[in-house]
Chains A and B, each alone.
Chain A
């Protein structure tokens, strides 16, 4: 709660009439081999951005080992049957391209950008990685060793540790509880395991190819058919995962980091997927709460109280589940005070309707920021990618802003009451136990872990 009255600005120019927001019409085609292609023009620079997405990620390989899809993606870019690692990197440079391979919980992806004049050689290279990765033994060993160091490093990083613990707490036996493998699990990765993930996941029936940029779509489609047309492979069998329920009752999980001069707070609960009909309402609720600079949480614990630099909240969507989270890195003395304010603002959203003017501000923010994505090739790509990956309706981009503006204050109250409840939030604190444990106990039973994930008494 603000301790000081807010003054209003004087003489602010009104907004001019809005210019129409027009999304480029994508060209969509499903090739005979099952590859779904989505192309959109954007001529801001003589380049294009692309993504080849496979609809299987770490969750689909979790029964084998945590992080296996990510390790597979890492090694994919280190060699093909035709090109060794060094050749691949030089070839990319010679056509001015950037490329990365990665996997998250639900997808694996090859993401790339390059000059329009060299579109065809770049598509060739992407195709080669998708189809002919050779997993050279030496490259695999090197990448595995690097992954080990990365895992160790992440265990020294407060926000990584907090994020990892929250996912464990929220998702239990479901693969979404795993965000990082242990050192022992990395050491046990086998090259053959990566190759079998590759064979199963990297198939045209399991893939989406999105390109946005400076090209003529019909010409590009011809190139794509030429390059990707002869590729074949089936969709991997669907997996079923363990059930997971939203934890009831508030608890505190303290990750002990000796000597930490600050505490990373991260609290969360289950929420919804992007396909859920409440998605926009919850997104707007989040904007008001802590999703924008001008949000209640930022104004309270940063601009009024100075507890933290970057407080924020977010709604995070995975394919099967979603979760809401709120975070802030605060000085050790104000951990309890910060949590109190976080929950005060959460409960206020459940207790009182949002004033109309504040609702209008949040609606303008969310719909305005959405259209900023129109101005850049990668902004457009991420919007089209979101629609395609989540199988959202084809008019999603065109209708989003109107849907945001149609939400009422009563609906927000109902949404907050349905999803956000301070009595059932799971709280993670990554910090020095000696300095914060007594504050932690004020908010529920406390379980303490070390950075390796071991329980401490």
Chain B
């Protein structure tokens, strides 16, 4: 049962832009988001990492707000801002004191209408993105594991299998023509949703949206590449070298069912049974009971927001005295037990309470405490862009509440099978430390 009702107004402007307003005057703060229905999955071939590089370019200047002005105007209004690129959407968002609402909308409309960037901006952000990849992936223990390691092992369609952060050669090859073409193709109002959450009256929010966005011309409906995968009938395995870390790591990914089906609801709860914190079966068995793993975590990257082939993934860092095969055998024992016996009604009831509690937290959650309603914004955006039904935030819990132990048992048998999974072993390069030439003394 859901004890929370979110007030929502939704309409579509004549140019096709969805506008969603979720008013809540508790605090004098408003969060604004613009989501475009394009992520790194369907970025152009030969341009790996481009959707993300492009996201950076959206902060580099638009017709009336030149480079640095967008950031300056949000910060100096007392607000914070960012953007992110994921599989199937790219978002831009701001949280500001509510007196800055119109200014934020003006800025978002300005960059939806006309990006104004040059070669120098592109070179600058290409450099910044390379440092982002170095700090998060190349120079970081277990960097990119498994979100970058898994796709080339698990998938056969380039859309799902390529390097989402981008090969440096592809980043270098990107030119200003690509930027403008990508903008023209995907960043059209009819491929986007504008979201206003918090201290805004619905009438006022809709009027501002009309005022600033309605004159942006619609574009042709974007043609999306087909992300579907050929059917998988065998276990797939791959190996990646770990440059810095000292523990062997394994990631196992199982294909998920289509979003918003009864199977999807049951898999979400099964995911909780397996990965839900320290009470989750995998943590309990591998870390607490058998004590072969040092760290396990897992789940579905973006349960509500995927729009193509996706996995539920488990990540395990295990003790070095154990072989990877032995660690995998212990993991398989947890999966087999679940497939054989399913979960009990009592366990499912616990999972449902935790699920509801987590859902409320998602609706309210800030990012780092400073981006109020980020989770609600994300759900509303995905339910609008993929389902044309933002009201789903108020009813989506029902599907999870209705899941039975039998249904969980059924999806465990149907989806957790070896021929539908992929495994990546990330193996430490143990010889990483040459003997120091110097005198050893205590620091």
Residues of A within 8 A of B (CB): 4, 6-21, 42-47, 85-86, 89-90, 92-98, 113-115, 142, 145-146, 149-150, 152-153, 156-158, 168, 256, 258-262, 292-294, 299, 302-310, 329-331, 360-362, 364-365, 367-369, 371-379, 382, 448-451, 453-457
21 residue pairs from A and B, CB less than 8 Å apart: A6-B68, A12-B73, A20-B28, A47-B361, A90-B350, A146-B287, A156-B141, A293-B71, A293-B81, A294-B75, A329-B134, A329-B135, A368-B78, A372-B29, A372-B372, A373-B370, A379-B366, A379-B372, A449-B443, A457-B437, A457-B439
Known contacts A44-B26, A93-B277: A149-B247 contact under CB 8 Å: yes
- Whether the pair B128, A374 counts as a contact (CB closer than 8 A) is no
* Alpha-carbon separation in the docked complex, A372 to B80 (Å): 9
Residues in A neighbouring B243, C-beta threshold 8 A:
259
Tell me, yes or no, whether B123 is within 8 Å of chain A by CB.
yes
Known contacts A19-B28, A361-B75, A371-B27: A9-B66 contact under CB 8 Å: yes
Residues in B neighbouring A42, C-beta threshold 8 A:
26
Complex interface: stretch among B94-102, B297-305, B402-410: B94-102
- Whether the pair A376, B440 counts as a contact (CB closer than 8 A) is no
Known contacts A47-B357, A331-B134, A454-B442: A373-B128 contact under CB 8 Å: no
- Whether the pair A156, B244 counts as a contact (CB closer than 8 A) is yes
Q: Among the listed B75, B128, B276, which residue makes an inter-chain contact with A309, where contact means beta carbons less than 8 Å apart?
A: B128
Residues in B neighbouring A310, C-beta threshold 8 A:
132, 135
* Alpha-carbon separation in the docked complex, A289 to B297 (Å): 38
Chain B residue nearest to A155 in the complex (CB)? B246
Residues in A neighbouring B366, C-beta threshold 8 A:
372, 375-376, 378-379
Tell me, yes or no, whether B307 is within 8 Å of chain A by CB.
no
A264 to chain B, nearest CB (A): 8
- Whether the pair B141, A368 counts as a contact (CB closer than 8 A) is no
- Whether the pair A15, B77 counts as a contact (CB closer than 8 A) is yes
- Whether the pair A16, B78 counts as a contact (CB closer than 8 A) is no
Q: Among the listed B98, B246, B317, which residue makes an inter-chain contact with A19, where contact means beta carbons less than 8 Å apart?
A: B98
- Whether the pair B131, A262 counts as a contact (CB closer than 8 A) is yes
Residues in B neighbouring A153, C-beta threshold 8 A:
141, 245-247
* Alpha-carbon separation in the docked complex, A363 to B40 (Å): 37
Chain A residue nearest to B291 in the complex (CB)? A142
B165 to chain A, nearest CB (A): 12
Chain B residue nearest to A308 in the complex (CB)? B131
Known contacts A115-B353, A303-B67: A16-B99 contact under CB 8 Å: yes
Residues in B neighbouring A329, C-beta threshold 8 A:
131, 134-135, 139
0 or 1 for each of B307-329: is its CB under 8 Å from A? (1 = yes): 00000000001010000000000
Q: Among the listed B100, B278, B295, B372, which residue makes an inter-chain contact with A15, where contact means beta carbons less than 8 Å apart?
A: B100
Tell me, yes or no, whether B130 is within 8 Å of chain A by CB.
yes
- Whether the pair A21, B364 counts as a contact (CB closer than 8 A) is no
Additional 19 contacts, C-beta under 8 A, given A146-B295, A365-B76: A6-B67, A15-B77, A45-B360, A85-B288, A86-B279, A93-B277, A93-B351, A93-B353, A94-B350, A145-B291, A258-B433, A259-B243, A259-B432, A261-B139, A293-B80, A306-B131, A329-B139, A331-B130, A372-B97
Tell me, yes or no, whether B65 is within 8 Å of chain A by CB.
yes
Residues of B within 8 A of A (CB): 3-4, 24, 26-29, 64-69, 71-81, 95-103, 106, 120, 123-132, 134-135, 138-141, 198-199, 243-247, 276-279, 284, 287-288, 291, 294-295, 317, 319, 349-351, 353-354, 356-358, 360-361, 363-366, 369-373, 432-434, 436-443
- Whether the pair A371, B138 counts as a contact (CB closer than 8 A) is no
Q: Among the listed A11, A294, A304, which residue makes an inter-chain contact with B124, where contact means beta carbons less than 8 Å apart?
A: A304
Chain A residue nearest to B294 in the complex (CB)? A149
* Alpha-carbon separation in the docked complex, A258 to B437 (Å): 13
Known contacts A86-B288, A372-B29, A454-B443: A18-B97 contact under CB 8 Å: yes
- Whether the pair B436, A454 counts as a contact (CB closer than 8 A) is yes
Residues in A neighbouring B100, C-beta threshold 8 A:
15-16, 368
B316 to chain A, nearest CB (A): 13
* Alpha-carbon separation in the docked complex, A19 to B100 (Å): 11
Residues in A neighbouring B129, C-beta threshold 8 A:
309
- Whether the pair B69, A7 counts as a contact (CB closer than 8 A) is yes
Q: Among the listed B64, B353, B361, which residue makes an inter-chain contact with A11, where contact means beta carbons less than 8 Å apart?
A: B64
* Alpha-carbon separation in the docked complex, A261 to B138 (Å): 7
- Whether the pair A157, B363 counts as a contact (CB closer than 8 A) is no
Known contacts A18-B99, A152-B246: A261-B134 contact under CB 8 Å: yes
Chain A residue nearest to B372 in the complex (CB)? A375
* Alpha-carbon separation in the docked complex, A11 to B443 (Å): 58
- Whether the pair A157, B437 counts as a contact (CB closer than 8 A) is no
Known contacts A89-B279, A115-B353, A371-B29: A303-B68 contact under CB 8 Å: yes
Q: Among the listed B97, B247, B294, B350, which residue makes an inter-chain contact with A371, where contact means beta carbons less than 8 Å apart?
A: B97
Known contacts A157-B140, A306-B127, A456-B438: A9-B73 contact under CB 8 Å: yes
Residues in A neighbouring B369, C-beta threshold 8 A:
373, 376, 378-379, 382
- Whether the pair A307, B356 counts as a contact (CB closer than 8 A) is no
Known contacts A16-B101, A168-B443, A329-B131: A365-B357 contact under CB 8 Å: no
Residues in A neighbouring B432, C-beta threshold 8 A:
258-259
- Whether the pair A456, B437 counts as a contact (CB closer than 8 A) is yes
**8 nearest interchain CB pairs?**
A368-B78, A96-B357, A306-B127, A457-B438, A361-B76, A375-B372, A19-B28, A294-B75
- Whether the pair A455, B370 counts as a contact (CB closer than 8 A) is no
- Whether the pair A115, B357 counts as a contact (CB closer than 8 A) is yes
Residues in B neighbouring A94, C-beta threshold 8 A:
349-350, 353-354
* Alpha-carbon separation in the docked complex, A368 to B103 (Å): 15
* Alpha-carbon separation in the docked complex, A352 to B287 (Å): 57
Residues in B neighbouring A307, C-beta threshold 8 A:
127, 131
Residues in A neighbouring B130, C-beta threshold 8 A:
331
Known contacts A168-B443, A258-B433: A7-B67 contact under CB 8 Å: yes
Residues in B neighbouring A259, C-beta threshold 8 A:
243, 432
Known contacts A85-B288, A455-B439: A372-B370 contact under CB 8 Å: yes
Residues in B neighbouring A168, C-beta threshold 8 A:
443
* Alpha-carbon separation in the docked complex, A157 to B76 (Å): 34
Chain B residue nearest to A141 in the complex (CB)? B291
Q: Among the listed A4, A15, A19, A152, which residue makes an inter-chain contact with B199, where contact means beta carbons less than 8 Å apart?
A: A19
Residues in A neighbouring B68, C-beta threshold 8 A:
6, 294, 299, 303
* Alpha-carbon separation in the docked complex, A6 to B73 (Å): 13
Known contacts A45-B4, A86-B288, A457-B439: A368-B140 contact under CB 8 Å: no
- Whether the pair A330, B69 counts as a contact (CB closer than 8 A) is no
* Alpha-carbon separation in the docked complex, A120 to B251 (Å): 39
A214 to chain B, nearest CB (A): 10
Q: Among the listed B75, B124, B433, which residue makes an inter-chain contact with A306, where contact means beta carbons less than 8 Å apart?
A: B124
- Whether the pair A454, B29 counts as a contact (CB closer than 8 A) is no
- Whether the pair A260, B139 counts as a contact (CB closer than 8 A) is yes
Residues in B neighbouring A454, C-beta threshold 8 A:
436, 438, 440-443
- Whether the pair A113, B361 counts as a contact (CB closer than 8 A) is yes
